[in-house]
Chain A
Amino acid sequence: MDKVIICINCPVGCRMNVKLAEDGSFLSVSGNTCPRGARYAEQECTAPLRMVTAVIPVSGAAVPLSVKTSVPVPRESIGGIMKQLSLLSVRAPVSQGAVIVSNILGTGADIIATRNV
């Protein structure tokens, strides 16, 4: 199975062709111009990761709290994380770096405050 991946590491945006086995495991990549591209292509085809950022309401403050995942999470978990976050509300004050939810949805990532409110 072949997959086309546009590299995001730099503005060149190499168009890479990735060969995958029947079971989805990575076989080879072509079209990349650097090793970073090859690593990205493999990751992106097998287990794409994304950072998630969002805001959650704060009782006692006019401004919502911006948060992020402490580490990139599997792309398919983003929807679930957003739904979880929509159920949350925190109380001021919150400091930047505070853990709001640990190990969200078992992804291993914590939800961390990115500002002070």
Chain B
Amino acid sequence: MNQSDIVIVGSGITGTALARELSRYDASIVVLDRGYDVAEGATKANSGIVHAGYDAVPGTQKAKFNVLGAKKYAALCAGLHVPYRKCGALVIGFCEEDRITIEQLYRRGVLNGVSGLRIVSRDEALQMEPALNPAVSCALFVPESAIVSPYELAFAMADDAAANGVRFIFGESVIAAARRGGTWEVETARGSRYACRVFINCSGSSGAEIHRMVCGTRLKMIHRRGQYYLLDRSAALPFSRTIFQCPSSMGKGVLVSPTVHGNLLIGPNAEDIADPLDTATTSGGLASVLEKAVKTWPSLSVRSNITNFSGVRAHLETDDFMVGPVPGAEAAFEAIGIESPGLSSAPAVAEELSALVAESIGLKKKKEIVPYCPPAKPFSAMTDGERKNAVAQDAAYGNIVCRCETVTEAEIRNAIRRPVGATTIDGVKRRTRAGMGRCQGGFCSPRVARILSEETGIPLCEITKSGGNSRLLSGTVDEFLKGAAEND
């Protein structure tokens, strides 16, 4: 049995933020995740928006954490060297009903404490964003709205936590959690057992299931899938701000937004599905995204689409987050039902929850914290002078592995050597952007696989795209033919 003070289930944006906060205390901490890397669930597949906080109903957990969390983002991302940009947003309306919604959003925003909100006229909206549908009638301008790379933030927070002693264990799906003799005993699908003083449920899609293991209460959780288009990077994106349509009961609707890396993101639709791990895209879902997005962007074109993806949000029937001690359970905490604005809220959720946990078992702050050591600046972001120096110091900077995103061998090796390093092709991709570009890894994936194999000692045939059984290759050419010959 693996002993620790704290077990956190889930290494999404909330779990990693919490692990990082708790790593400042004198405590042994284990993070368990079903996936094979940090941020494999909703964190890797959402809109990447730090919402200002005008949408959440005043008085809800969502409203409180959103506004608090959003205010922490600029400093958090700067400290962790994570791409973040306050690009602003417009919520656009087309009719009288929309105007009423927009006015309501404005009032909510003011009540929630969001600064800088302003309702702008059609003309001003079109002046700000000339590619907008000219049928727009008015818009809410949200200067505080920002964009971030959610999984890169999770990686950075995980690295920071790990450097300060937190252990991340992947491929661990929790199947039981029980309180015995003042200790939580946690069991996973592959038979590992963990004992801890405090158990924290930060699981996204399994949030309700684990909640029930801990306190016996059944919660109704709806798995709501959203599909996206991601268009190629371009110096001339049609929009410089995030453009929302008026929200509905199913969520914030289809947005069109630049990303921090200069792509254009279009989505999501919203459909309730049975299997929270079903992140497939569907022809119907993708069609509905376009059908809605064209209302924002009449000259919409997906000719430069480079990938489609979908993410599943964990929606509680109560339509609010559950953050705090698990009711009716001892030494158990949770942050569940974390759908939008969960990304925006994570820093605030982690701060509040870590304080509660620390107080509950009397944790003391560490005297010394290992300062965060960010990955070196990406080669693609370096000046010519910096590039020259980088290659002079490490020849691996002279080997461009991903030509679409200009990612070097040095960056890939470094990503594998991080505290919570990449072990898969997707892990390298999300940490370095190798394979994120217009050829989608066609050129670099064989090369990345070789580097992964060299760095980790895993044979090339066992390198996976995303862990588990997602192997890239099925054998060497000669073995394979011999096998086929024997089968004849």
Indicate yes or no for A touching B, C-beta below 8 A.
yes
Interface residues of A (CB under 8 A from B): 55-57, 64, 82-83, 85-87, 89
CA distance A87 to B485 in the complex (A): 10
Of all chain B residues, which has the CB nearest A82? B481
Of all chain B residues, which has the CB nearest A86? B481
Q: Mark B185-221, 1 if CB is under 8 A from A, else 0.
A: 0000000000000000000000000000000000000
CA distance A87 to B476 in the complex (A): 13
Contact between A57 and B477, CB atoms less than 8 A apart: yes
Partner of A83, one of B476, B477, B485: B485
Is B482 interfacial (CB-CB < 8 Å)? yes
Q: Mark B309-349, 1 if CB is under 8 A from A, else 0.
A: 00000000000000000000000000000000000000000
CA distance A64 to B478 in the complex (A): 10
Interface residues of B (CB under 8 A from A): 476-478, 481-482, 485
Q: How far is the CB of B36 from chain A (nearest CB, A)?
A: 28
Q: How far is the CB of A91 from chain B (nearest CB, A)?
A: 15
Q: How far is the CB of B399 from chain A (nearest CB, A)?
A: 15
Of all chain A residues, which has the CB nearest B481? A86
What are the 9 tightest A-B residue pairs by CB atom distance, in nearest-first order? A86-B481, A83-B485, A86-B482, A57-B478, A86-B478, A55-B477, A86-B485, A82-B481, A64-B477
Residues of B with C-beta under 8 A to A56: 478
CA distance A55 to B481 in the complex (A): 11
CA distance A64 to B476 in the complex (A): 11
Partner of B482, one of A55, A64, A87: A87
Of all chain B residues, which has the CB nearest A87? B482
CA distance A89 to B479 in the complex (A): 12
Of all chain B residues, which has the CB nearest A57? B478
CA distance A64 to B479 in the complex (A): 13
Residues of B with C-beta under 8 A to A64: 477
Residues of B with C-beta under 8 A to A89: 478
CA distance A57 to B479 in the complex (A): 10
Residues of B with C-beta under 8 A to A55: 477
CA distance A55 to B480 in the complex (A): 13
Q: How far is the CB of A16 from chain B (nearest CB, A)?
A: 33
Q: How far is the CB of A60 from chain B (nearest CB, A)?
A: 15
Q: How far is the CB of A10 from chain B (nearest CB, A)?
A: 32
Contact between B482 and A57, CB atoms less than 8 A apart: no
Q: How far is the CB of A52 from chain B (nearest CB, A)?
A: 13
Of all chain A residues, which has the CB nearest B485? A83
CA distance A55 to B476 in the complex (A): 11
CA distance A83 to B478 in the complex (A): 9
Q: How far is the CB of A38 from chain B (nearest CB, A)?
A: 37
Pairs A–B under 8 Å by Cβ, sample size 16: A55-B477, A56-B478, A57-B476, A57-B477, A57-B478, A64-B477, A82-B481, A83-B481, A83-B485, A85-B481, A86-B478, A86-B481, A86-B482, A86-B485, A87-B482, A89-B478
CA distance A56 to B481 in the complex (A): 11
Q: How far is the CB of B449 from chain A (nearest CB, A)?
A: 13
Q: How far is the CB of A39 from chain B (nearest CB, A)?
A: 34
Given contacts A56-B478, A57-B478, A85-B481, 10 further A-B contacts (CB under 8 A): A55-B477, A57-B476, A64-B477, A82-B481, A83-B481, A83-B485, A86-B478, A86-B481, A86-B482, A86-B485
Q: How far is the CB of A31 from chain B (nearest CB, A)?
A: 37
Residues of A with C-beta under 8 A to B482: 86-87
Q: How far is the CB of B89 from chain A (nearest CB, A)?
A: 50
**Among A85, A86, A87, A89, residue most surrounded by chain B Cβ atoms (within 10 Å):** A86
CA distance A73 to B476 in the complex (A): 26
Residues of A with C-beta under 8 A to B477: 55, 57, 64
Of all chain B residues, which has the CB nearest A80? B485
CA distance A89 to B476 in the complex (A): 13
Q: How far is the CB of B463 from chain A (nearest CB, A)?
A: 16
Q: How far is the CB of B447 from chain A (nearest CB, A)?
A: 12
CA distance A64 to B480 in the complex (A): 15
Q: How far is the CB of A99 from chain B (nearest CB, A)?
A: 20
CA distance A56 to B476 in the complex (A): 11
CA distance A64 to B482 in the complex (A): 16
Q: How far is the CB of B374 from chain A (nearest CB, A)?
A: 34
Residues of A with C-beta under 8 A to B481: 82-83, 85-86
Q: How far is the CB of A59 from chain B (nearest CB, A)?
A: 12
CA distance A86 to B482 in the complex (A): 6
Of all chain B residues, which has the CB nearest A88? B478
Of all chain B residues, which has the CB nearest A64? B477
Of all chain B residues, which has the CB nearest A56? B478
CA distance A105 to B476 in the complex (A): 24
Q: How far is the CB of B418 from chain A (nearest CB, A)?
A: 27
CA distance A31 to B114 in the complex (A): 79
Residues of B with C-beta under 8 A to A57: 476-478
Q: How far is the CB of B459 from chain A (nearest CB, A)?
A: 15
Of all chain A residues, which has the CB nearest B450? A62
Residues of B with C-beta under 8 A to A86: 478, 481-482, 485
CA distance A56 to B477 in the complex (A): 8
CA distance A57 to B476 in the complex (A): 9
Q: How far is the CB of B486 from chain A (nearest CB, A)?
A: 10
Residues of A with C-beta under 8 A to B485: 83, 86
